[in-house]
Structure 1
Amino acid sequence: MMDFLKSFLGIAAELTILFIIISFVISLLQGYIPYEKIERELTGSNKFSASIIAIVFAFITPFCSCSTIPVVVNMLKNRIPFSITMVFLFASPVLDPTILTIMGVVMGWKVTVLYTLITSMFSILIGYTLDKLGFERYVKNVVMKGYEQSNEKFNWKYAVGETLSLMKSVYPYLLIGALIGAAIHGLVPTHFITEWFGQDNWWLIPIAAIVGIPLYIRLSSMIPISQILIAKGMALGPVMALMISSAGASLPEVVLLKSIFRKQLVIAFILSVITMSTVSGFIFFLV
């Protein structure tokens, strides 16, 4: 019990310090992002440039999978091209700057950079594939309220408020992840994870990609869990597949998507997230 408590406090303390510092700095910087200019660039004729900007926009707007939906509706309402909107939809929940920075510190920058490149590439590829296949016709004519872009420059006081707000919505998941990670560290034998979830069990990757969606494990919770699993010998491939699928889609998000997309596009979205997670898992497995 003491080992479990010590492990939990150690993981929680490290994540808490990182989370507060990083989220505060990002909150300060977000006030100086030219959102109107970004929106103009997203509607530009250069599709490749617009795709890169959509990825950057996804990175600088840290939303979970559910809170991404109102932004997507706003983009469609402002006639942002369907392909670019889909790029943002897939990239936004998996490219949270706070969590990516924590991932870099906890899991290593090589893993984080590769994760960022893979998820960005697949977001662009899936966005344009859905557009080419004509899935835009499955978008409902819906107006969703609840999202407004602030034009106010952030100051220190505002950044503190944003940090506290972010802690209320995200920090509990970090603690849950730390709790589960500490339990795995103290209660699950290393040889069990190595034997059943180790390097040669490639079949775990598609299973992890499928399981991740209904589990609704947020990316913030997966970081400490992944750290312990990898340290105990679990292969990186299934860990990353589970991480990407759980962050990229969730049951609450699917319900919200059903209100703005027809079932054909919702099914395509789920299959796309599973595909992205599975292929990404195999890339990490091979690397």
Structure 2
Amino acid sequence: MSPEIVQMLEDALGMFAFLAVELTLLFLAISYLVGVLQEFITPEKIQSILSSRNGKGYVIAALLGAITPFCSCSTIPFLKGLLRARAGFGPMMVFLFSSPLLNPVIIGLFVITFGLQVAVMYFSVALVVSVTAGFVLEKLGFERYVREEAYQMPTASGCGASSAKATESACGASDTASACSSAPAATESRWVRIWKATWKDFKQVVPYLLLGICLGSFIYGFIPTDLIAKYAGEATWYAIPIAAVIGIPLYIRAEAVIPLSAALVKKGMALGSVMALIIGSAGASLTEVILLKAIFKNQMIAAFLVVILSMAIFAGMLFNLFI
């Protein structure tokens, strides 16, 4: 093989290893954290905070997305927790759109790389479009495209379950001589039970996760930045849509795509195309779309992609007009 192919293969394998470790740890950590929060915050409380019956739920969801340092994939376990808590559908969608795009790390990188004006404009566009899209999807009844199993709480088998029903089914109603008589204290079993539920949840999504990582890593390793700059770099009418579409399969966390975009700007890529690439890549990575298939039906996934692409194209055009 030529040295170029070898280098591309090394880049792809390195990205696969990095993403596999990072996303696995993030998914497990966030899922466990969500499980712990659900032990102390009742579903009724979450419903009242993130209710779609008043405008506050949408704003709170957007602010929650802005302060959570999640990438597009690690948003999924948090979203599943909100679904199981029966939070308002519209605010949940706002969180899904805003979380990977508005976290403090990304905004800080924008300020450092492109300046305060660009950062403020990016934040404003992502915030307004996220809230608007969540509200519209709620009103159009897209909640019916959420899979029923996404609302179900994973149950851990064994003696650590705390409910009377779980105890009876696993151990027997009153058999004190059974193995469950030596069960650990309630406080310890709570953490074990949360971990078992987290691990069960992870096993359900790991095939989707690995498939998305494989595809994203291949694209990362074998599609050079020069090719992106060639087809999305000129300030033409089609450059922004192409950059937005390219960004989705090109899975790169926003923390990485922003420095990459700075290099593309130096190569002559229009700033509007760069913004479309950043939003497409950070807002709807291929890995996230594959993971969402375990939660949403195809109609909802299509709507999700339309929102992200529309946001990316709209932001790109605004940047070309005003910056």
Structure 2 counterpart of 1:120: 127
In structure 2, which of residues 59, 74, 92 is the aligned counterpart of residue 85 of structure 1? 92
Q: Which residue of 2 aligns with 1:99?
A: 106
Distance in 1 separating the partners of 2:291 and 2:232: 36
Counterpart residue number, 1:111: 118
Whole-angstrom distance in 1 between the partners of 2:232 and 2:251: 23
Quote how far apart the aligned CAs of 1:144 are. Answer: 6.4
2:277 is the alignment partner of 1:269: no
Q: Please state whether the residue corresponding to 2:252 is helix, strand or coil.
A: coil
- For 2:250 and 2:277, the matched residues in 1 are separated by 9
Q: Which amino acid aligns with 1:266?
A: I
Q: 1:43 aligns with which of 48, 51, 60?
A: 51
Rate the CA distance shift 1:91–1:196 in 2: closer, same or farther, 3 A: closer
Of structures 1 and 2, the one scoring higher in RCO (CA 8 A, sep 6+) is: 1
Q: Report the CA distance between 1:269 and its aligned residue.
A: 0.9
Aligned to 1:226: 261
Question: In 1, Cα distance between the equivalents of 2:68 and 2:301?
Answer: 23
| 1:131-280 aligned within 5 A | 131-141=138-148, 142=150, 143=152, 197-198=233-234, 200-280=235-315
CA contact (8 A) 1:205 1:241 kept: yes
Contact kept, 8 Å, 2:84 with 2:153, in 1: the verdict is no
Structure 2 residue aligned with 1:176: none
Matched, 1:52 2:79: no
Q: CA-atom RMSD, angstroms?
A: 3.0
**Residues 145-171 of structure 1 deviation map (CA, whole Å, 9 limit, x = unaligned):** 6xxxxxxxxxxxxxxxxxxxxxxxxxx
Contact 1:240 1:280 in 2 (8 A): yes
Determine if contact 2:231/2:242 at 8 Å carries over to the other structure. no
CA gap 1:125/1:100 in 2 versus in 1, 3 angstroms:
same
Q: What amino acid is the match of 1:46?
A: N
Q: Matched residues, percent identical?
A: 44
Relative to structure 1, the CA distance from residue 255 to residue 44 in structure 2 (aligned partners, 3 Å threshold; closer, same or farther) is closer
Q: How far does residue 221 in structure 1 lie from its aligned partner after superposition?
A: 1.2
Q: Matched residues in 2 for 1:44 and 1:130: separation?
A: 11
Whichever residue aligns with residue 110 of structure 1, its letter is: Q
Partner in structure 1 of residue 164 of structure 2: none
Amino acid at match of 1:207: I
**Distance of aligned partners of 1:212 and 1:117 in 2 relative to their CA distance in 1, 3 Å threshold:** same
**Equivalence for 1:130:** 137
What does residue 29 of structure 1 align with? none
Quick one: distance in 2 between partners of 1:232 and 1:81? Answer: 44
| CA drift at 1:204 | 0.5
AA in 2 matched with 1:41? I
Cα deviation, 1:74-114, whole Å, max 9, x if unaligned, reads 11211211001000000011112112112211211110110
Q: Which of 75, 80, 100 is 1:73 aligned to? A: 80
Supply the distance in 2 between the matched residues of 1:75 and 1:257 (Cα, whole angstroms): 14
* Per-residue Cα deviation, 1:242-284 (whole angstroms, up to 9, x for no partner): 0001001111111111101111111111122111111111111
Structure 1: gaps (5+ residues)? 1-34, 146-179
Question: Whose Rg is larger?
Answer: 2
Partners of 1:281 and 1:118 in 2: CA distance: 10
Q: TM-score, normalised by structure 2?
A: 0.60
Q: What TM-score do the two structures reach when normalised by structure 1?
A: 0.67
**Distance in 2 (alpha carbons) for counterparts of 1:238 and 1:144:** 41
Sort the Cα spacing of 1:244 and 1:263 in 2 relative to 1 into closer, same or farther, 3 A. same
Letter of the 1:80 partner, please give it. A
Please report how far the alpha carbon of residue 195 of structure 1 lies from its aligned counterpart in structure 2 after TM superposition.
11
When residues 52 and 195 of structure 1 are mapped into structure 2, their CA distance, relative to the original with a 3 A threshold, is closer
Deviation at 1:44, TM superposition (A): 7.0
C-alpha deviations, 1:89-141, integer Å up to 9, x for none? Answer: 00011112112112211211110110000001110111111111111001112
Which blocks of at least 5 consecutive residues in structure 2 are unaligned?
A: 1-39, 155-220
